[in-house]
Structures are given as structure tokens and as C-alpha cells.
């Protein structure tokens, strides 16, 4: 197997994500992906053995993008609630419909990923938990997290539950803001005024 250049890899995997999201796993073929990527099927087979391999590569590619976004948000300056919300919005965005062509991980693929690449999903969640733990540690002078060792898990799965809730993206983000606000106020070493 050859390794595609980063630009080609992005093009092939973006095409794969779009096809899997649009047609589902069963109805997506290597022919369909190749056509969407603007290459021949033999060209695609130079880099991926088959549909399962390109599906897993696309899932990993999408998770990497989301994890990097979360890590970037965690490093930004700001208040604890703002930074926590920004990181957790990554989970919300995964569950929003794919109406933006640059999104690497549309909601339509979540069930397929759980069924075909659950190990990648779990690794992604572990990475987000590590981001949240590091972010909470960063604010340990302002938040008393000593009695809440499972707080990253609570926040991540709280966000995941909110993401699965029906309603608009704005409503889900407001619920997330409230979850984080209550958490930060409850853990604040000094009273929080927002």
C-alpha cells in the first residue's frame, strides 16, 4: 500500500465521509468514493485495501480533527466556563447535521462508527477526557476539583447527552452553557458572578 500525500489523503477521506454520510455504509462502494474524489477506483485501491479500511481511515481522520480543535480551544486564554464550553462544543458539533462541507465528522456517521470502529471512538473519548482533565487542572487555583476526580467524565457524558437531545443547535448549546455554568459555580473557590 502506498501512502497518499496529505492533500490527496484529505481529498480521498473527505469524499469518503461525504459518501458514507449520504449513502450509508452498505450503499457506499469504492467506485462511489473514487468518483466523489475525482480519481479512478484503481487509484483509490493504491492507498486503501477496501471500503472497511477507508471507512476506518476516514473515522480516524475526523476524530483527529475534532480532538485537535478541542486541544486548541483548551489552550486559549479565558475564563474556566468559556474554555470548558468551547471544548465540549466539539461533542455537540459531532451530532449536528452535516451542512458544512468542511466538517469531517457529520452526525450521520456516528452509528456506523460505533458499529465498525468503536475502538477509534473510545480512543477519541479518552483523548477528550485528557483534554478536559488538563483544562480543569489549569484552573485548579480557581476551582476546587479535589473532590470530583470523575468530573471530566461527568462533563463529557453530560455534553454527549445534551448532544443527543432533540432541539436546535442553539438550544443544545444553551443547555451545555448551563451545565458548565452550574459546575463552575459549584466548584468555584470564590463566588462567580456570571
User: Domain holding 176: CATH number?
Assistant: 1.10.357
Asked whether residue 8 is assigned to any structural domain, the reply reads no
Burial of 89 (0-12, 13-18, 19+ CB in 10 A): buried
Let me know if residue 130 belongs to a domain: yes
Query: Looking at the domain assignment, is residue 7 inside a domain?
Result: no
Range of the domain at 175: 56-187
pLDDT at 67: 95
Instruction: Check: CB of residue 86 under 8 Å from CB of residue 150.
Output: no
The verdict on residue 2 lying in a domain is no
* Domain contains 26: no
- Structure-block grid coordinates of residue 132: 478536559
What's the pTM value of the predicted model, to 2 decimals?
Answer: 0.87
pLDDT tens, residue order, the chain (194 aa): 899 999 999 999 999 988 998 888 999 999 999 999 999 999 999 999 999 999 999 999 989 999 999 999 999 999 999 999 999 998 888 776 654 444 555 566 777 888 888 999 999 999 999 999 999 999 999 999 999 999 999 999 999 999 887 688 899 999 999 999 999 999 999 887 65
How far is CA 75 from its chain centroid? Answer: 17
Radius of gyration of the chain (CA): 19
Provide CB contacts within 8 A for 62, sequence distance 6+.
13, 17, 104, 105, 109
Contacts of 2 (CB under 8 A, 6+ apart): 46, 47
Amino acid at each position: 500500500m502506498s501512502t497518499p500525500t496529505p492533500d490527496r489523503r484529505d481529498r480521498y477521506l473527505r469524499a469518503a465521509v461525504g459518501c458514507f454520510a449520504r449513502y450509508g455504509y452498505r450503499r457506499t462502494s469504492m467506485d462511489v468514493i473514487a468518483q466523489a474524489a475525482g480519481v479512478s477506483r484503481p487509484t483509490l485501491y493504491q492507498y486503501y485495501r477496501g471500503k472497511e479500511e477507508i471507512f476506518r481511515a476516514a473515522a480516524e481522520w475526523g476524530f483527529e480533527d475534532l480532538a485537535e480543535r478541542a486541544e486548541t480551544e483548551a489552550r486559549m486564554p479565558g475564563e474556566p466556563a468559556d474554555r470548558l464550553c468551547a471544548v465540549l462544543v466539539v461533542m455537540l458539533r459531532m451530532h449536528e447535521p452535516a451542512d458544512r462541507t468542511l466538517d469531517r465528522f457529520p452526525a450521520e456517521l456516528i452509528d456506523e462508527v460505533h458499529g465498525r470502529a468503536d475502538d477509534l471512538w473510545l480512543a477519541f473519548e479518552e483523548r477528550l477526557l485528557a483534554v478536559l482533565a488538563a483544562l480543569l487542572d489549569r484552573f485548579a487555583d480557581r476551582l476546587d476539583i479535589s473532590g470530583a476526580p470523575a468530573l471530566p467524565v461527568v462533563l463529557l457524558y453530560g455534553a454527549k447527552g445534551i448532544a443527543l437531545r432533540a432541539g436546535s443547535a442553539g438550544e443544545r448549546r444553551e443547555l451545555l452553557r448551563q451545565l458548565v455554568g452550574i459546575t463552575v459555580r459549584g466548584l468555584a473557590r470564590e463566588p462567580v458572578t456570571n
